[in-house]
Amino acid sequence: MKIVLSAVLALVLLGCGEENNSEATKVEHKTTPQEVVKEAVAQHVAKVTSKKEEVKKEVVQKVVEPVKEAVKEVAKVDGKTIFKACIGCHGASADKPALGKSKIIKGWDADKIEAALNGYQDGTYGGAMKGLMKAQSSKLSAEDKKAVSEYISKL
């Protein structure tokens, strides 16, 4: 144990080759070997902690942020993909009355389609197909409804 304390004390007094002499001088005025070791450990922990924060910032900047951007790009809502669930009833060009009972939605503007989807979802819109469309529209987020409305309006 004395050898370890002596080695630590020597490193502290010499400054480990990185500290300036004023810091080493501060340490050598400690009265007990335990205080000297405690100070040396505290200095080392401070260096490691500082380096750890630098590395963390670099990882966030070089890895985490690009991954977040890639995920956003992949997760972008695609109205065409969402509309595939509608084709069976409304037709590939939205030119059929759904199951022969609803209005043809081709030619509607995006706001009207989005309002209809919101109305189906909250129960304030719809006729004969109200129940079926409530179930369909409840699966869609606000972003999904906007994207599919934009897509349908351009068919």
The answer to whether residues 68 and 101 belong to one domain is no
The number of distinct structural domains making up the chain is 2
> Pick from 20, 53, 74: which residue ends a domain?
74
94 & 137 share domain: yes
pLDDT at 143 over 80: yes
DSSP SS3 for 86: coil
Question: What is the pTM assigned to this prediction?
Answer: 0.54
143 shares a domain with 84? yes
Are 57 and 113 in a shared domain?
no
Cα of first residue to Cα of last residue in the chain, in angstroms, is 82
Residue in the block written with tokens 């750890």: 52
When pLDDT is averaged across residues 124-144 and rounded to a whole number, the result is 90
Residues 9, 25: one domain?
yes
Strand, helix or coil for residue 103: coil
Residues 101 and 115 in one domain: yes
Q: Evaluate if residue 153 carries a pLDDT over 80.
A: yes
Highest mean pLDDT among 2-6, 24-28, 130-134: 130-134
CATH number at residue 145: 1.10.760.10
Measured CA distances, 50 to 20, 45, 90, 138 (Å): 18, 8, 61, 49
pLDDT band of residue 3 (cuts 50, 70, 90) is low
pLDDT tens for residues 9-61? 555 555 554 444 444 445 455 578 788 888 888 887 888 787 878 888 887 88
Q: Of the residues 74, 107, 122, which one is the last residue of a structural domain?
A: 74
Mean pLDDT of the region 122-134? 89
Would you say residue 87 has pLDDT above 70? yes
Residue-number span of the structural domain to which 21 is assigned:
2-74
Distance CA 46, CA 52 (A): 10
